[in-house]
Amino acid sequence: EIVLTQSPATLSLSPGERATLSCRASQSVGNFLAWYQQKPGQAPRLLFFDGTSRATGIPARFSGSGSGTDFTLTISSLEPEDFAVYYCQQRNKWPLTFGGGTKVEIK
């Protein structure tokens, strides 16, 4: 199965700062990668699909990039509501797999 490794595990930043989250795949997934945001006690929310396509209602401060084995989620300027855990997910090969997550916490 394709293993997705997310780094760093935890990112400590202040509101207004830029966040850069990485997702690396054990083999190429093409551009078939999604990003999700999960806040405590809530279900995940789809942010991006196919690497760079923003899901409905996602603010422009979020951007997705990458292809093949290396992907990045960038938040240009952190808002208070952006502090959460972020997961990547690939759909290139069965089984569908998720990364272990990156927690973005307030510094």
Partner 1 sequence: QVHLVESGGGLVKPGGSLRLSCAASGFAFSDYYMGWIRQAPGKGLEWTSYISSGRQNTNYPDSLKGRFTISRDNAKNSLYLEMNSLRPDDTAVYYCARVRWPNSYYFDSWGQGTLVTVSS
Return the number of the residue (49 or 83) whose C-beta is nearest partner 1. 49
Residues that bind partner 1 (CB under 8 A): 1, 34, 36, 42-46, 49-50, 55-56, 87, 89, 91, 94-101
Residue 23 and residue 90: Cα distance in Å, rounded? Answer: 10
At residue 81, φ and ψ (nearest 5 deg) are: -80, -5
Shortest Cβ distance from residue 16 to partner 1 (Å)? 28
- Burial degree of 91 (CB within 10 A; 0-12, 13-18, 19+): middle
Write down the least CB distance from residue 15 to partner 1, Å.
26
Using the minimum distance from each CB to partner 1, give the nearer residue, 4 or 19.
4
Got the DSSP string for 8-59? -SEEEE-TTS-EEEEEEESS--TT-EEEEEE-TTS--EEEEETTTEEPTT--
Q: In angstroms, what is the minimal distance from the CB of 46 to partner 1?
A: 5
- The distance of closest approach from Cβ of residue 77 to partner 1 in the complex, given in angstroms and rounded to an integer, is 25
Residue placing its CB nearer to partner 1 in the complex, 16 or 41? 41
